[in-house]
Amino acid sequence: MWLNNMTQHWWPCLSTAICRTVKNRLQKVLQKRKPDLFSSIVFETFSMGSVPPRCSGAKVYNTNEEEIILDLEMTWAATNADIVLSVRLANGTVALPVQLSQVLFQGTVRLIFKPLVPQWPCFGAISVAFVGKPQVDFSLRLIGGELMSVPGLAPALHDLLKNRLLSAMVWPRRVYAPIMKHLRSRKGREAFQLRPKVSGLLRTHLIQAKDMRTNELSVIFATLELGGVTRRSKVLSSSSEIVFDEEEVLNFIVQHPDFEALRVTFYEVEALNTFDAQLLSCEDLTAQLRLKVRERERENVFRETPASCRTTPRTKA
C-alpha cells in the first residue's frame, strides 16, 4: 500500500511530532485515571522507535458535515520503542523508573479532521480515537530493580495502561489536538461542535449464555463496553448454560450509532477469588461478542455463540 511506503520514509519526522503531541495529551489522562496506589505518574522518556505502524485497510465516511472521518486498520510492532514512566507510590518518597518496551498494537484508529478551512493544512483540528478497544501488549521492567519486588506495581500499571488509558480513547472519547489557535479555547471547540452529541440511550439485558466451556470451581461475569464505557454484570456460578437476571439493565449513552458497536466479554475466575472478580482482575477471557448498534431499531434479539444478548434502544433523543 502506498500509504505504508510513504509512512516508512516519513516516520523519523512523523514519530517525533506525534511523540510531542501524544506525550502531553496522555500525561493529563494518566494523572486523572491513575489508581490510588500512585501519588503521581509522569513520562520521563517517550520514543516510538524506528518501526512505523502498518495500515492494512482504510475507510472514509461521508457525514454531510464540514469534516473528514478516516478509519485506519493498524498493526504496530514497536520492538525498539523506549518509554520510561516515573511512578511515585502513595506511601513512598522515591520515584520508580519503569520502562515500557516491546509494544504490540492491533486495532482501528479513527482520525477526525474538523473543521475544514481554506487555509493550510485545510483543517482546524485533528482528533484521534480507537474504534473499539484495541489489542495491546507490552513488557514492563523496573530499571535498577525487580518489578515484582514492589507489591501491586505490575498489575496496577497493566490496569492503568491497558484498561483505563485505552478506554479514555475509545470512540466517542478522543484525544483532541487543535491546529488553529482560536480552536484551543472552550468556545472554539463548541463553535465547531467538536464534542460529540448524544443520539439516544441503549438499554441492554443479558439473557443467557450457552455452550460455555468453564471449570466447575469457578464463577463467570460479563462486561459490556460501548463508547469507552464499561458495565459489569453480577458474578454468577459457572455452568455450560448461564441464565442472567433479566431485571438487571445496563444502560449506555449512544453518541453516533453509525460508528459504534457493543462489545460483550465473558470472564472466568476461581470461585475462591470472587473479590478479585468484582474488581475485574485475575481474569481469563472466556468468550467475546461484538454487535452493531443500529439506529431506529426498536428491538433486536441476537442469537450468537457463546451468548445471547437482547438490546432495546430508545428512540432518538
What's the domain range around 100?
A: 32-191
pLDDT above 80 (res 302): no
Evaluate if pTM is beyond 0.85: no
Quick one: 135 and 219 in the same domain?
A: no
pLDDT of residue 275: 39
pLDDT bucket at 23, cuts 50 / 70 / 90:
confident
Residue 118 shares a structural domain with residue 176: yes
Stronger pLDDT, 113 or 264, i.e. the higher one: 113
How close are the terminal C-alpha atoms of the chain, in Å? Answer: 41
User: Do 47 and 186 sit in the same domain of this protein?
Assistant: yes
Query: Is residue 287 pLDDT above 50, yes or no?
Result: no
Q: What is the pLDDT of residues 156-165, one digit of tens each?
A: 898 888 888 8
127, 156, 191: which is the final residue of a domain?
Answer: 191
Q: How far is CA 115 from CA 76, 126, 172, 225, 258, in A?
A: 29, 9, 17, 29, 20
182, 67: one domain: yes
What band does 241 get if pLDDT is binned at 50, 70 and 90?
confident
Structural domains in the chain (count): 2
pLDDT in tens, 178-230: 888 777 776 665 555 555 567 788 888 888 877 766 666 677 788 888 766 77
The answer on 87 and 166 residing in a single domain is yes
3-state secondary structure the chain: CHHHHHHHHHHHHHHHHHHHHHHHHHHHHHHHHCCCCEEEEEEEEEECCCCCCEEEEEEEECCCCCCEEEEEEEEEEECCCEEEEEEEECCCCCEEEEEEEEEEEEEEEEEEECCECCCCCCECEEEEEECCCCEEEEEEEECCCCHHHCCCHHHHHHHHHHHHHHHCCECCCCEEEECCHHHCCHHHHHHCCCCCCCCEEEEEEEEEECCCCCCCCEEEEEEEEECCEEEECCCEECCCCEECCCCCCEEEEECCHHHCEEEEEEEEEEHHHHHHHHCCCCCEEEEEEEEECCCCCCCEEEECCCEEEEEEECCCC
Question: Do residues 51 and 165 share a domain?
Answer: yes
Shared domain check, 204 and 180:
no
Higher pLDDT, 101 or 259: 101
Flag whether 7 is in a domain. no
Give the residue carrying C-alpha cell 494518566. Answer: 30
**Which residues have a Cβ under 8 Å from the Cβ of 199 and sit 6 or more positions away?**
254, 255, 256, 257, 295, 316, 317
37, 183: one domain: yes
Residue 183 lies in a domain: yes
Tell me if 202 sits within 8 A of 251, measured CB to CB: yes
**Residue 138 sits in the same domain as residue 219:** no
List the Cα angle 244/268/238 in 5-degree steps: 50
In a domain, 19, yes or no: no
Dist. CA 124–CA 211, nearest whole Å: 51
Residue 86 lies in a domain: yes
If asked whether residues 187 and 214 sit together in one domain, one would say: no
Beta-sheet pairing, 95-113 with 68-78 = antiparallel
Question: Does 231 reside within a domain?
Answer: yes
Q: Are 113 and 68 in contact (CB under 8 A)?
A: yes
Beta strand 261-270 with 250-254: parallel, antiparallel or unpaired? unpaired
Domain contains 273: yes
pLDDT digit string (tens) for 40-93? 999 999 999 899 999 999 999 877 778 899 999 999 998 888 899 999 988 777
Same domain, 289 and 140: no
Of the three residues 126, 156, 191, the one that is the final residue of a domain is 191
Residue 280 lies in a domain: yes
Read off the pLDDT band of 238 (50, 70, 90). low
Higher-scoring residue by pLDDT: 283, 75: 75
Under the banding of pLDDT at 50, 70 and 90, the label for residue 293 is low
Entry field: residues in the chain? 317
Of 168, 191, 214, which residue sits at a domain end?
191
Per-residue pLDDT at 261 exceeds 80: no
Specify the pLDDT at position 142.
Answer: 93
Question: Does one domain contain both 52 and 187?
Answer: yes
- The CATH number of whichever domain residue 254 belongs to comes to 2.60.40.150
Gap between the Cα atoms of 89 and 110, Å rounded: 34
Backbone phi, then psi, for 102, in 5-degree steps?
Answer: 50, 50
CA distances from 78 to 39, 48, 102, 190, 281 (A): 29, 7, 6, 36, 26
Q: Is residue 167 in some structural domain? A: yes
